[in-house]
Chains A and B, each alone.
Chain A
Amino acid sequence: MRILIVGGGTGGTVLANNLARRLAVEIRSHKVRLTMLTASDKHLYQPGLLYVAFGQMTPDQLYRDQAGLLESSVEFHVDPVVKFQLDQKQVVTKSGKTYEYDILIIATGSRIVPDEVPGLKEGSENFYTVEGAVRLRKRLMEFEGGTIAMVVSLPHKCPVAPVEAMFMLHDFFKARGIRDKVRLRYHYPVNKVHATANVAVWAKPEFDKAGIEYETLFNLKEVDPEKQIVYSEEGTECKYDLLIAIPPHRGMEEIENNKMGQAGWIPTHRHKLTMDGYDNVYVIGDATNIPVSKTGSAAHFEAEVVAENIESQIKTGSTVREYDGKVYCFIEGGFDRATYNAFDYVNLPVLKPPSKSIHWFKMAYNRMYWTTVRGLL
């Protein structure tokens, strides 16, 4: 039995380690072979990018060697897949090698595509890449007053990130003693301040309290970097001194090139996590098209479901669990308080008021992440 995992980010790594433990005996006796193909020898802890932008973490703290995060029984190659030949149960890599499999798991994540919005790349900053976060950090330190506008494009990783960033901007300029010189404007595509109902209910009065202005039904159309104006599809505009964007996202290019899903999102069964049309292909994390937030937390829970099902399939011939849409997200409410959102496909509880202890738990999680992807926690 050959199990092939493509992608060594959050989902792929949790899955590989979980399977390596569940199938330790089978791997040792060569009944099962567990292989991971990925695109980088480094693993990036992406949630840390928000903290880099605000000067609370440095980029080097966000990286570990991927090989060191994996159980030794996982065969690991940095050799990205370029061709998915699903009908022949094989993939072809950049180096030209062909890997055959019995079970394939795709966990290739998503990427930002600022080019999709005219003027966005030239006219805005973001915290969705390491370079972006470092540049934004400098711009924020140099900012002496004026309008900071946040615009959001869909879909994007970590749905609460724009809300968190606004609260952190508020505290950042308060700490620098120039909050009264900074106008904070938040723009959001739907008719509430957040698409998730409980987050919207909580965030709106908090925005009011912090003096954060908001405009809803603002779908990003284009940016004029010269005039420093951002325009919406709805016909409104905002003049800015610093524009922070959550850029549009897509699945990976290789997924699009292989025509496996529109905009690179792979059609996936929302409970079984199998790719439509292929019972032996699972998809987890950002790469799916399932209606759940693109978060490391979802990728992690999905990986656990898939690991349990693959083990069960091998040992008993049938699967045992379905993914229920579970997600757990911390939400920073500034520099010293946070709340969290825990929900699934059918339950959405009211958010608790932010507290210092949840904030410190998130700060601790920023370091504990490395233990969770190893599967030790």
Chain B
Amino acid sequence: MSEVKVVDARNTFCPGPLMELISNMKMASVGDTIELLSTDEGSGADVPEWVNKVGHEIISNEKIEGVWHIKVRKAK
């Protein structure tokens, strides 16, 4: 199994957690998994919306002690 790359976007506003994820997805290879950590309230909904629209895959999405942990697999 390939390693999960963690993108720590906790406490960041600009350019923001979703931007950090998009930048990292661009650098990843198809099949790679990235776990985004975010303290931004909107992330729980915003990130899946982007992932689904672009056609990647959400593996898990949960909030643990105020931090969103969202795992995404690059599908294309």
Contact = CB atoms under 8 A, between A and B. Distances in A.
A binds B: yes
Interface of A: 154-155, 159, 189-191, 195-198, 217, 219, 233-234, 248, 262-263, 291-293, 325, 327, 341, 343, 345-346, 348
B14 A292 contact: yes
**Considering the complex of A and B, which 5 residue pairs feature the smallest CB-CB distances, nearest first?**
A291-B12, A195-B16, A196-B14, A293-B14, A345-B11
A233 B53 CA distance: 9
B19 interface: yes
A195 B23 contact: no
B62 interface: no
A191 B13 contact: no
B54 A159 contact: no
B22 A189 contact: yes
A154 B49 contact: no
A219 B22 contact: yes
Nearest to A218: B53
Given A154-B23, A291-B15, 11 more contacts: A159-B14, A159-B15, A190-B50, A195-B15, A195-B18, A195-B19, A197-B16, A217-B53, A234-B54, A291-B17, A341-B14
Given A195-B19, A219-B22, A263-B27, A327 B54 contact: no
B34 interface: no
B9 interface: yes
Q: Which of A154, A197, A262, A341 has the most CB of B within 10 A?
A: A154
A292 B27 contact: no
A345 B40 CA distance: 12
B46 A190 contact: yes
A155 B17 CA distance: 12
A190 B53 contact: no
Chain A interface mostly = loop
B20 interface: yes
Contacts of B20: 291
Nearest to B18: A190
Contacts of A219: 22, 54
Interface of B: 8-9, 11-20, 22-23, 26-27, 40, 42, 46, 49-50, 53-55
A154 B19 contact: yes
A190 B16 contact: yes
Nearest to B13: A348
B14 A154 contact: no
Given A263-B27, A291-B9, A345-B11, A191 B16 contact: no
Contacts, number: 69
B19 A155 contact: yes
Q: Which of B8, B9, B22 has the most CB of A within 10 A?
A: B22
Contacts of A341: 14
A234 B52 CA distance: 9
A248 B23 CA distance: 10
A190 B19 contact: yes
Contacts of A190: 16, 18-19, 22, 46, 50
Nearest to A298: B14
Contacts of B26: 154, 248
A217 B19 contact: no
A101 B40 CA distance: 40
Contacts of A217: 49-50, 53
Contact of A262 (B12, B22, B27, B53): B27
Contacts of B55: 233
B19 A189 contact: yes
Nearest to B46: A191
A234 B49 CA distance: 11
Nearest to A159: B15
Contact of A345 (B12, B16, B22, B54): B12
16 contacts: A154-B15, A155-B15, A189-B22, A190-B16, A190-B22, A190-B46, A191-B46, A196-B16, A197-B13, A197-B42, A219-B22, A262-B27, A291-B8, A292-B14, A327-B14, A345-B12
Nearest to A262: B27
Contacts of A191: 18, 46, 49-50
B23 A343 contact: no
